[in-house]
Amino acid sequence: MLIGFVVNPIAGMGGRVALKGTDSMVEEALRRGATPVAPARAREFICALRCDPEFLTAGGPMGADYLKERKHRVVYIPPEHTTAEDTKTAVREFLKGGADLIVFVGGDGTARDVVSVVGEKVPVLGVPSGVKMFSSVFALTPSTAANVVCAFVRGETALSERDVLDIDENEYRAGRLAVHLYGHALVPVLDGMVQGSKSPSGPGDDEDYAEFLAENIESDVLYLLGPGSTVQKVARALGVEKTPLGVDAYLNGSIVARDVGEREIISLLNEQGEAKIVITPIGGQGFLLGRGNQQFSPEVIRRVGKDNIVVVSPESKLRGLKALYVDTGDPEVDDMLRGYIRVLCGYGKYKLMRVL
């Protein structure tokens, strides 16, 4: 069994620094203090593998650096500074080498690059390491990706045609979200281990949850309002306009900081005692943290605490979701968040949801 393995070394770097993506923004991400995300995600995936396939890979940080204890062949040597073309070239070499499955570490942009070469010739699986990851080609976490790969090696997975979605990141940074379908991929699936595609909130969704939360806002408490149209409705009920796809800070009747990243949030937490995070699950996927809101880093989540996380959602978004998910990149924080959480889904109406 041959597994092609490629890592996008810059994937996900824009998340914590509020860039909402990394395409064409690496220098700005570094200026804001971003650090690589993909290496840790790649290592987590490899360490979790309980099988021993042979790998085809690219050199250095695009793959070989993480496979030193695994049987592998380097079939492409990338330059020091890599681009999307290097991902595509590596994948072409995997196909030439007879790969049975291609595993990539990255986000939606990396998925597009991989599938633009592979199509549906061989199955692919994403190890989540981007900012958004709206496509349904990703495992829930790097560890579950390892479980899916080993099940594939044993012949225990089914193949499913899945959507490859992406957005225009410049539009996204400007607060306009338009998700486009760029193709399909064959993905090995195992029950409960591969995510679905993002689906939008419906225009007719009940907004009573927003009115109820606005009426029960506490004085002298910092509210960190997360991304998305659902939380934006809460802001409007409060009488303020927020950054549609960013994190804004609300205190005592006004927005005190807009479109903040991890560093700015921690600074606010140092100045203000009590704080709450207001977030909503991603429609169709159920992710609470770790997809599109990495400004809420493990350190921020620890500081705020699970009991101060307020989850809001129209009931329609919860339909069909068996559970909610977290993938913060910190196993201890993920464990802290797991269990059950109340979701405000109407005027004083809550639904208890399991968090995995």
Determine the pLDDT at residue 202: 53
Position 218 pLDDT exceeds 70: yes
On whether both 47 and 11 belong to a single domain, the answer is: yes
On whether both 245 and 185 belong to a single domain, the answer is: no
Position 170 pLDDT exceeds 70: no
Q: Which of 331, 175, 339, 186 is nearest to 241 (CA)?
A: 175
| Domain span holding position 280 | 208-355
Distance CA(286)–CA(150), nearest Å, equals 25
Position 14 pLDDT exceeds 80: no
**Which of 128, 160, 189 is a domain's end point?**
189
Position 174 pLDDT exceeds 60: no
Bridge partners of 225, per DSSP, are: 248, 278
Mention every residue, 6+ apart, whose C-beta is less than 8 A from residue 315: 206, 345, 346, 351
On whether both 42 and 87 belong to a single domain, the answer is: yes
Distance CA(252)–CA(218), nearest Å, equals 8
Q: pLDDT tens across 24-45, in order? A: 566 776 778 778 899 999 999 9
Determine the pLDDT at residue 35: 82
Position 115 pLDDT exceeds 60: yes
**Which of 139, 160, 189 is a domain's end point?**
189
Is residue 203 in some structural domain?
no
What would the two tokens of residue 225 be?
């309002």
Is residue 195 in some structural domain?
no
Determine the pLDDT at residue 175: 58
Looking at the chain, the whole-number percentage of residues with pLDDT higher than 70 is 93
Average pLDDT, the chain: 91
On whether both 43 and 127 belong to a single domain, the answer is: yes
Position 232 pLDDT exceeds 60: yes
How confident is residue 132, by pLDDT bands cut at 50, 70 and 90? confident
On whether both 8 and 152 belong to a single domain, the answer is: yes
Mention every residue, 6+ apart, whose C-beta is less than 8 A from residue 240: 250, 254, 255
Is residue 70 in some structural domain?
yes
On whether both 93 and 21 belong to a single domain, the answer is: yes
Q: pLDDT tens across 288-318, in order? A: 999 989 999 999 999 999 999 999 999 989 9
On whether both 257 and 307 belong to a single domain, the answer is: yes
* 37-46, 165-174, 284-293: the lowest-pLDDT one: 165-174
Work out the angle between the directed axes of helices 108-118 and 84-96 (0-180°, nearest 10).
40
Is residue 134 in some structural domain?
yes
On whether both 175 and 39 belong to a single domain, the answer is: yes
> H helices within 100-195, ranges in order?
108-118, 142-153, 169-173
HEC string of 4-58? EEEECCCCCCCCCCCCCCCCCCHHHHHHCCCCCCHHHHHHHHHHHCCCCCEEEEE
Q: pLDDT tens across 49-61, in order? A: 999 999 999 999 9
Is residue 238 in some structural domain?
yes
**Which of 140, 155, 189 is a domain's end point?**
189
Is residue 201 in some structural domain?
no
192-215 as b/e: b if 16+ CB within 10 A: ebbbbbbeebeeebebbbbbbbbe
On whether both 183 and 213 belong to a single domain, the answer is: no
Position 204 pLDDT exceeds 60: no
Domain count, the chain: 2
Determine the pLDDT at residue 201: 59
State the pTM of this model. 0.90
CATH code (residue 58):
3.40.50
The H or E element spanning position 257 is strand 254-257
How confident is residue 249, by pLDDT bands cut at 50, 70 and 90? very high
How confident is residue 76, by pLDDT bands cut at 50, 70 and 90? very high
On whether both 243 and 162 belong to a single domain, the answer is: no
Distance CA(13)–CA(21), nearest Å, equals 7
On whether both 170 and 248 belong to a single domain, the answer is: no
Is residue 325 in some structural domain?
yes
Is residue 165 in some structural domain?
yes
On whether both 341 and 227 belong to a single domain, the answer is: yes
Determine the pLDDT at residue 17: 75
User: Taking residues 153-169, what's their average pLDDT?
Assistant: 89
